[in-house]
């Protein structure tokens, strides 16, 4: 498999974690987002959205959208499971993951921040925008897992929720968010003690700057 991504891309980071948890081998192809390589015609042929990640399967078919990719991997390689069997808990985990992937991450994504810049908004205000979005999201995340957290977000097994949380905390630090949630930080530390998470970290990638 070939993972098209970028070291700093938190959506790519999610997929790297899932691939590592499943013990799957993959090659990585880096697309430098600040240089706009995600909009090169060759990449747009793989993902017309011009966003990373995209996962090219061995047979040439391409998957996009990090959560869809993680769920695909979970279906094809069920162990270790990223979602439990209980339907309610699955729904709660998906809600947590989507809070980050659908409501927080998109509004602080590069192309949105660039668009704000073209509207004449200054860097400080743009960073403040991203910081607020992340703060509000993480505050909600912390409450959502108040009754479920164990070593990880939902009990003592890693789930899709942890796969979304850890990369989002990287972005939180990048934008100077005051990380006032000890529960989230303890879960992050537990995750990062696992090689699957540690090896997927941005600074460990070959394209890291």
**Paired residues of 28 in beta bridges:** 3
Helices (H), ranges, 10-57: 10-21, 41-44
Q: What end-to-end distance do the CA atoms of the chain give, in Å?
A: 24
In angstroms, rounded to a whole number, what is the distance separating the alpha carbons of residues 130 and 175?
A: 7
d(CA 99, CA 138) in angstroms, rounded, equals: 9
Closest-by-Cβ residue to ligand GSH is 111
Between 52 and 158, name the residue whose CB sits nearer to ligand GSH.
52
Residue 11 Cβ vs ligand GSH, minimum distance, rounded to whole Å = 4
- Interaction of residue 28 with ligand GSH, rule CB under 6 A: no
Stretch that binds ligand GSH, among 50-58, 121-129, 140-148, 177-185 (CB under 6 A): 50-58
Sign of CA dihedral 200, 163, 132, 50: positive
Are the beta carbons of 23 and 32 closer than 8 angstroms? no
CA angle 66, 174, 125 (to 5 degrees): 105
Residue span binding ligand GSH (CB under 6 A) among the ranges 73-81, 90-98, 109-117, 127-135: 109-117
66 binds ligand GSH (CB under 6 A): yes
Q: How many residues bind ligand GSH (CB under 6 A)?
A: 15
CB-based contact 73:22 (threshold 8 Å): yes
Read off the DSSP letter of residue 202: G
CB 57 to ligand GSH: min, Å: 16
Decide: is 200 part of the binding site for ligand GSH (CB under 6 A): no
Q: Which of 3, 17, 21, 51 binds ligand GSH (CB under 6 A)?
A: 51
d(CA 131, CA 203): 22
Looking at beta carbons only, is 42 or 88 nearer to ligand GSH? 42
Binding part of the chain for ligand GSH, among 4-12, 84-92, 138-146, 192-200 by CB under 6 A, reads: 4-12
- We find the least distance from the C-beta atom of residue 119 to ligand GSH, in angstroms, to be 16
Residue ranges that bind ligand GSH, judged by CB under 6 A: 9-11, 33, 38, 51-53, 65-67, 101, 109-111
């Amino acid at each position: 498999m070939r993972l098209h991504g970028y070291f700093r891309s938190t959506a790519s980071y999610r997929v790297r974690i899932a691939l590592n948890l499943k013990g799957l081998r993959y090659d990585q192809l880096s697309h430098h987002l600040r240089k706009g390589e995600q909009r090169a015609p060759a990449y747009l042929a793989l993902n017309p959205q011009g966003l990373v990640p995209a996962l090219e399967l061995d047979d040439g078919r391409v998957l996009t959208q990090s959560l869809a990719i993680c769920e695909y991997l979970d279906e094809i390689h069920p162990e270790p499971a990223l979602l439990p069997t209980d339907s309610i808990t699955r729904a709660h985990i998906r809600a947590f993951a989507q809070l980050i992937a659908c409501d927080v991450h998109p509004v602080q994504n590069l192309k949105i921040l660039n668009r704000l810049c073209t509207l004449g908004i200054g860097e400080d205000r743009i960073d403040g925008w991203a910081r607020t979005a992340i703060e509000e999201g993480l505050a909600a995340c912390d409450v959502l897992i108040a009754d479920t957290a164990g070593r990880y977000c939902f009990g003592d097994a890693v789930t899709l929720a942890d796969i979304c949380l850890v990369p989002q905390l990287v972005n939180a630090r990048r934008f100077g968010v005051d990380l006032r949630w000890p529960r989230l930080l303890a879960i992050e530390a537990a995750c990062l003690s696992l090689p699957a998470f540690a090896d997927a970290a941005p600074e460990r990638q070959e394209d890291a700057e």
